[in-house]
Amino acid sequence: MTAGGHDKVERRGLMFVLSSPSGAGKTTMSRLLMKRMPDMQMSVSVTTRPKRPGEVEGRDYRFIDKARFKAMADNEELLEWATVFDNLYGTPRKPVEDALAAGHDVLFDIDWQGTQQLRERARADVVSVFLLPPSADALETRLHSRAQDSDEVIRGRMSRAGHEMSHWPEYDYVVINSDLDEAYEKIELILKVERLRRERQMWLSDYVRELQRQLER
Ligand code: 5GP
């Protein structure tokens, strides 16, 4: 038995949550993580908000109406859900449970309300990172440069950002996104270290038992 032969199969998948006020660079960060980190699957949320230009059904979100959302929540098909900017957002349960059972990690782009619910339900499996913008100006510039939302929506998002940020102490890690590459390096490091935690390496007890057996010979 070798350690290398076991960690791929028997590592317990983790729930990697990335939250931030809108405009702090979370979507770019999630895409980078998905591209560069093996064994990572993105949780695609359902939402009742309208699709923005450039968004793809099933990749960015599953866009559904309020009745369907309510039915999913009532049938406990959602792991968590919340109202954000007057729209409903939720995480479908089944894909997450299947991925974790197969030993894959799941990446969540959800807000603080959803993070609280995930932690209540699965504390041991959740690793949460809060991404902060380097300044208020940078946040506003990013919101405008996205050019996806109206001025009114952007004003709403700016005024919500201060409130959202007040939840930073509820997260395991906080990263300031001044430089994308540097912030990415930190987030990748967090993920790599968390993957190495003893309790996630389920093969370890068998491995040590086998080592002890060999030593007793
Ligand atoms: P946006 O409309 O900009 O895509 O997302 C608005 C906010 O909703 C973001 O903070 C995003 O993280 C959050 N969000 C997206 N999907 C979910 C979800 O499934 N659950 C929760 N609680 N928040 C979500």
Q: What's residue 95's pLDDT?
A: 96
Mutate to test the pocket of ligand 1, among 46, 94, 111, 121 (most ligand atoms within 8 A of CB): 111
Q: Is the CB of 125 under 6 A from ligand 1?
A: no
Q: Mean of the pLDDT values across residues 46-54?
A: 94
Computed over every residue of the chain, the mean pLDDT equals 91
Task: Give per-residue pLDDT as tens, 181-214.
Answer: 999 999 999 999 999 999 888 899 999 999 999 9
User: Which pTM was predicted?
Assistant: 0.90
pLDDT of 101 > 90? The answer is no
Q: Determine whether 138 is exposed, middle or buried from the number of CB atoms within 10 Å of its CB (0-12, 13-18, 19+).
A: middle
Residue nearest to atom 22 of ligand 1 (CA): 114
**Measured from the CA of 26, which atom of ligand 1 is nearest?**
12
Q: Is the CB of 114 under 6 A from ligand 1?
A: yes
- For ligand 1, is residue 113 a contact (CB within 6 Å)? yes
Spelled out in words, what is the top-level CATH class assigned to the domain 13-200?
Answer: alpha beta
Tell me: the pLDDT tens digits for 22-36?
888 898 999 999 999
Give the pLDDT score at 147.
67
For atom 24 of ligand 1, the residue with the nearest CA is 110
User: Residue ranges of the domains in the chain?
Assistant: 13-200
Q: Which residues of 161-173 are buried (b: 16+ CB within 10 A; e: fewer)?
A: beebbebeeebee
Could you tell me the distance, in angstroms and rounded to a whole number, from the CA of residue 89 to the centre of ligand 1? 6
pLDDT for the residue numbered 7: 44
pLDDT at 104 over 70: yes
Q: Which amino acid is at 173?
A: Y
